[in-house]
Amino acid sequence: MPQKPEWADYEDKVASFLLQLGFEVQVNETIQGARAAHDIDVAARTETAGVRQLWVAECKSWKRRVPKERVLTFKGIIEDIGADRGLLFSESGFQAGAIQAAQSTNITLTSLAGFEQGFPAEVSSARAKVL
């Protein structure tokens, strides 16, 4: 059996962590926006106080830092589908223009390790609910 591509493994790891946080997750989902259909790496849904939320994750398993243009494209997708939050994951980091483009938006630029470090209490709580 052929080995899974590195990018697909990265998407699965992101999905697995969001699942641990209590989200319903779907990998490689096509979501219809107001203007077009978009292929989403990981869609994460939850409901808080009766309000449904949609977070979308773009997973870049690249050897180079993510440029500004990718953040701007991702921002357009988030707006078109009406997502509540966009998460752009990259283990190689982000160019300065990408960081600037994400400021004051609903986009979080992070690595998987960095994202995991921000949620230890939430992961413990979600695991306790499962038990």
Per-residue pLDDT of 52-104, as tens digits, reads: 999 999 999 999 999 999 999 999 999 999 999 999 999 999 999 999 999 99
Q: Is 117 helix (H, G, I), strand (E, B) or coil?
A: helix
Per-residue pLDDT of 2-61, as tens digits, reads: 788 888 999 999 999 999 888 999 999 999 999 999 999 999 999 888 999 999 999 999
Which amino acid, 18?
A: L
Dist. CA 91–CA 75, nearest whole Å: 20
Q: What letter does residue 82 receive in the DSSP assignment?
A: T
pLDDT for the residue 100: 97
